[in-house]
Amino acid sequence: MSATSAIRDRLLAAWARLGGGPERACQIMEVCGTHTVAASRSGLRDLLPEGLRLISGPGCPVCVTDQSYIDRAVHLARRRAEVTVATYGDMVRVPGRDGSLEEARAAGADVRTVYAAAEAVALARRRPDRHVVFLGIGFETTAPGAAMAIEQAREERLTNFSVLSSHKRLLPVMRALLAEDDVRIDGFLCPGHVSVIIGSAAFQPIVARHRVPCVVAGFEDEQILLGVERIVRQLADGAPAAENVYPPVRPEGNPIAREVIERVFVPADDRWRGLGDIPDSGLAVRETFADFDTARRFDLPPEESYELPGCRCGDVIAGRLLPTDCPLFGRRCTPGSPVGPCMVSSEGSCAAYYRYHYRGR
Amino acid sequence: MCVAVPAQIESIEGQKATVNLAGARADVAVTLTPEAGVGDYVLVHAGFAIAVVDPEEARKTFSILREMGALDGR
Amino acid sequence: MAHGGGGQLTAELIAGVILPAVGGQDPAALTDAAALPAGEGTILFTTDSYVVQPLEFPGGDIGKLAVCGTINDLAVAGACPVALSLALVLEEGLEIALLRRVLASAGRAARGAGAAIVTGDTKVVERRGEPGMTVNTAGVGHALPGADLSFTRVAAGDAVVLSGPLGQHGLAVMSRREGLGIAADLLSDCAPIHELTAALVSQLGADVKWMRDPTRGGLAATLAELAAGAGRNVEVRQDAIPADPTALAAAEMLGLDLLTVANEGKLVAVVAPGAAGRAVEVLRGFDIAAGAAAIGTVGDAADLPLVEMLTRAGGRRIVQMPYGEELPRIC
């Protein structure tokens, strides 16, 4: 018997103990885009008993970023001839008011895909005639890299590198989700790699306050299934807890990584697609590093939020809607012609559903 | 929220290490894992090692490490 | 740029812009090589252009790639390659030594496949950044006796056979690109597959229904093409697909789906249900197909044919035609 089927058997046993079924349904939210993709790609959703749903939340950094951010990035790419926009691949196709970064590139703007923030610094080092703007998105896993890039740039006295930060913090958005009335969350499957940084103990206050299971899991099939099994077991036992099944994660996380983040960034109120303004949920570049903060180096258009017409990404992100329930899904909105970021981003829920589940009906 | 893979450190020079996963090598910064040494397994994300992982736990957790072992008896 | 990725956008560009302009045929009938009556027999004719960067990569170069690519298009059409043309568009500043290496490589590849480069052309243009080159090859071959390959022959129950592990070419090339910070002990699988195809045709005859080499867009694009062309669902099993751990590792590091990464020396063949075992045995007789395996089956006819994969975990996922360029994913 494979390890996965052994875990599944234990899951079914715990589910039976809980009395779970179509009449007594249960929703577990995974707040990590990588979990969304992994669950879909591995076909794991098929293995869950009826009534047990794994719904995705605001785990895709590209998707949760407000529209105004992409517009500012496109503005820099198109209107500032000396700017090179360096970004992770996912951002390139997100549609903004003035098109996407990919379209800007086709029109002659200098937009480059990078694998890491350090690459963006290397670009700035090689090209003193360009100002490299690094689009800093992601949760606590990517923030240390961006922070170190800024410190590196300062050490080298580069004057042509800055970060447009839209980094997000996990715990504030989890609290905000629990405060929403219209989404049922019976447990959280917590992100393995963010937890490597913040530690599995970080979820204890949420468990204490809201009595909701929080289990950290990695991204392999067995890991996800194990995480789900632990949540259901906690529910069956009536004993919600902060638990971890992913070996690289320690209760205290990675203190050095957190120190790096704290040196360069400061928590700031931030706006999330679909969830509005959440206090302290973002990371802004500290005053001391002002020279490396794109928002201070450039005159950027004001941050105006708006909804893309007809787009329900916000509701998908908040867990109110499954991708397949969106009226545009598979019709007006497809990976080839996406309306919103959830379909564009490789970690977006809609993209994952379309790519791995969509049968065209 | 990001893709990270386990890999073994082959060599370290200052803050940089070369890691190897089944013959795919990457240069990563080990600034966040000062305790990591040659031979250790680390979790790598976007050019950084973010955690050290016990080799046995790593093999149990990551199927690619098991697949490598299965295919060439390592 | 996404229009050149080999996936859905490329298909749209061909059907929507190119074919109408050249007064072309029904796109559904397009094969990699065109069959033309020539006296008593049939000749097959194909062309392709190559723009790979970097020009030299582990396991090959643009010269070898261009020759093998065209030979393989002829091969999967059931032809024995005979002759090739080689047209070069060189960007000024290109090192002569590099050009010599690339041409020598092209010549070796052609000779190794029993074909001759018989005509060609050379032009020089202004450079765009790093001096590069574009290579176009056209090839002709004669149809092998007994080869009867087409979408219409594909039937329910037919087996899908793959000659070896995926992703080696795409990842070998990507691992040499600046900035990704990955170097893999990976060699491109760039190789001519005409011996594989000839062996299958001669030993299995009419039991071979259809063949393709999974290049840009990877196995995903080829299976999507099969499903759409044959109008039938296709099912493959994840644990049957041959794996190269280094390619898998590099793909994971870059956040890529191995099914969509380019190959340049692999064969996908659809064979009659009872012939799968024989097909695998025939292929395994060749070094470049030592890892051949039956990976799936053709299903029922469907209005909206789908490629489905049975995952290792025991669930299911769809395998879509890739959209355009697969960007390395991070976050």
Inter-chain residue contact B44 with C253, CB threshold 8 Å: yes
Residue C252 lies in a domain: yes
Residues in A touching B33 (Cβ below 8 Å): 254, 256
Q: Does A115 touch chain B (CB under 8 A)?
A: yes
Residue B56 lies in a domain: yes
Residue C262 lies in a domain: yes
B17: nearest CA partner in chain C: C181
pLDDT at C167: 94
Inter-chain residue contact C304 with A44, CB threshold 8 Å: no
Which is more confidently placed, C324 or C314?
C314
CA angle, residues C51, A116, A199, in degrees to nearest 5: 145
Range of the domain at B26: 5-68
How near does any CA of chain C get to the CA of B9, in Å? 14
Strand pairing partners for C270?
A: C160, C210
Residue C17 lies in a domain: no
Inter-chain residue contact B64 with C253, CB threshold 8 Å: no
How near does any CA of chain A get to the CA of B63, in Å? 7
Residues in A touching C310 (Cβ below 8 Å): 43
- Per-residue pLDDT tens digits for C176-208: 775 566 777 789 999 999 999 999 999 999 999
pLDDT at C130: 76
Mean pLDDT of C303-330: 82
Inter-chain residue contact B61 with A247, CB threshold 8 Å: yes
Q: Cα separation of A13 and A32, whole Å?
A: 26
Judge whether A145 and A154 are in contact, CB under 8 Å. Answer: no
* C-alpha count within 13 angstroms, C-beta hemisphere, residue B23: 17
Q: Cα separation of B11 and C9, whole Å?
A: 43
Alpha helices in B1-74 (DSSP H): 55-61, 63-72
CATH of the domain at B30: 2.30.30.140
Structural domain count of chain A: 1
Q: Does A347 touch chain B (CB under 8 A)?
A: yes
Q: Cα separation of C288 and C185, whole Å?
A: 17
Q: Cα separation of A264 and C32, whole Å?
A: 55
Mean pLDDT of C76-81: 95
Inter-chain residue contact B61 with A118, CB threshold 8 Å: no
* Helix, strand, coil abundance in chain C, percent, nearest 5: 35, 25, 35
- Per-residue pLDDT tens digits for C200-239: 999 999 999 999 999 989 999 999 999 999 999 999 999 9
pLDDT at C26: 60
In degrees and rounded to multiples of 5, residue C41 shows phi and psi of: -110, -160
Inter-chain residue contact C306 with A360, CB threshold 8 Å: yes
DSSP for C89-153 reads EEETT--HHHHHHHHHHHHHHHHHTT-EEEEEEEEEE---SS--EEEEEEEEEEEPTT----GGG
Q: Cα separation of A152 and A163, whole Å?
A: 12
User: Can you list the residues of chain A whose pLDDT is less than 70?
Assistant: 1, 361
B7: nearest CA partner in chain C: C249
Inter-chain residue contact C246 with B23, CB threshold 8 Å: yes
Q: Cα separation of B43 and C40, whole Å?
A: 63
Q: Cα separation of C71 and A26, whole Å?
A: 56
pTM (two decimals): 0.89
Judge whether A1 and A27 are in contact, CB under 8 Å. Answer: no
Collapsing DSSP to helix, strand or coil, A261 comes out as helix
pLDDT at C227: 97
Structural domain count of chain B: 1
Q: Cα separation of A135 and A154, whole Å?
A: 18
Range of the domain at A162: 64-169+254-297
Average of per-residue pLDDT values in chain C: 89
Structural domain count of chain C: 1
- Per-residue pLDDT tens digits for A273-322: 989 999 999 999 999 999 999 999 999 988 888 888 899 999 999 999 99
Inter-chain residue contact B23 with C181, CB threshold 8 Å: no
Nearest neighbour of C246 by CB, restricted to B5, B24, B44: B24
Q: Cα separation of A268 and A287, whole Å?
A: 12
Q: Cα separation of C320 and C308, whole Å?
A: 9
Residues in C touching B30 (Cβ below 8 Å): none
DSSP for A324-342 reads GGSTTBTTTB-SSS-SSHH
Residue C97 lies in a domain: no
Residue B73 lies in a domain: no
Question: Kind and range of the H or E element at B27?
Answer: strand B24-29
Residue A238 lies in a domain: no
Residue A123 lies in a domain: yes
Question: Kind and range of the H or E element at C20?
Answer: helix C19-22
pLDDT at A115: 80
Tell me, what amino acid is at C226?
Answer: L
Alpha helices in chain A (DSSP H): 3-18, 33-41, 61-64, 67-79, 101-106, 117-126, 143-155, 170-179, 192-198, 204-210, 221-237, 255-264, 294-297, 313-317, 341-344, 349-357
C239: nearest CA partner in chain A: A42
Residues in chain B: 74
Question: Based on the number of CB atoms within 10 Å of its own CB, is C134 exposed (0-12), middle (13-18) or buried (19 or more)?
Answer: middle
Q: Which of A50-54, A82-86, C27-31, C121-125 has the lowest mean pLDDT?
A: C27-31
User: Can you list the residues of chain B whose pLDDT is less than 50?
Assistant: 1, 71-74
Residues in B touching A118 (Cβ below 8 Å): 29, 47
Residue A16 lies in a domain: no
Inter-chain residue contact B26 with C182, CB threshold 8 Å: yes
Residue A201 lies in a domain: no
Range of the domain at C222: 151-318
3-state SS, one letter per residue, for C243-304 = CCHHHHHHHHHHCCCHHHCCCCCCCEEEECHHHHHHHHHHHHCCHHHCCCEEEEEEEEECCC
CATH of the domain at A143: 3.40.50.11740
Which is more confidently placed, C33 or C300?
C300
Best mutation site among A219, A224, A252, A317 for testing chain B: the one with the most B CBs within 10 Å?
A219
C51 pLDDT tier (thresholds 50, 70, 90): confident
Residue C92 lies in a domain: no
Q: Does A88 touch chain C (CB under 8 A)?
A: yes
CATH of the domain at C193: 3.90.650.10
Neighbours of chain A (3+ CB pairs under 8 A): B, C
Residue C73 lies in a domain: no
